Amino acid sequence: MVKTGFRISCSVGSGLARRFVSKSLLTLFIAGPASLSSLSAKAAPLPLVQEPLFGLVYDSNEVKFDPVPPDLLLRCGLDPSVETDRRSVYAQVDSSGSRYMIIGGLVRASPGERWQDDSTGEFLRANATACDLVDPGNDVFPPADYDGDPASDDPQYPIGMDVYRSLAMDAVNRYSLAFGSLQEFVKTLHEQKAYPDRAPPTVLDAILQKMTE
């Protein structure tokens, strides 16, 4: 039998081995702390997140929502750096020149510190020049017995019902996409005992509507 190719073997004490180890250490030295920190970052997964609408706890390394755009974070007075702010968009709708968003997720004071879960979240209203907080993200939708038009009848709910309904439908679409499907999303709601008790009525209506499509 004719053998082709080359077989290279060396002991730890051989010159070839010493040159190989030295070269590897030199490469690591030249790469510097940035490479070490990037390796450390890859080795440390992000913590669990509790989202604001239902109180669902999920693995942010597997369940992915869209990140909040950095320019919007900046406009709202929040740090736009991904090193300190990893908030996600849980619902969003545009209406009458404003963008309404329910956001929440992971934040920390500075790079290297432990991530904190912003489980309360924020309900924001933003336009081209300004941004303001409407409500906490876990207290957005009117209760089940609310029968008025929030925009005119109750300052506690300062937005028209059509916006709330659109937000609810957008939320269902985003959660279904993040969890893999509407069925998986609803399954997770049941498993974590969030359905129907912790689901806002407007969002429940949107879920039922999606189930019948």
pLDDT tens string 90-108: 999 999 899 999 999 999 9
Residue the block writes with tokens 């999303």: 185
- What global pTM score does this model have? 0.76
pLDDT along the chain (213 residues), means of 10: 42 42 40 45 75 96 95 90 93 94 94 92 93 91 74 67 94 98 97 91 94 93
CB contact at 8 A, 140 and 128? no
Strand partners, 101: 92, 124
**Dihedral over Cα of 11, 14, 15, 19: its sign:** positive
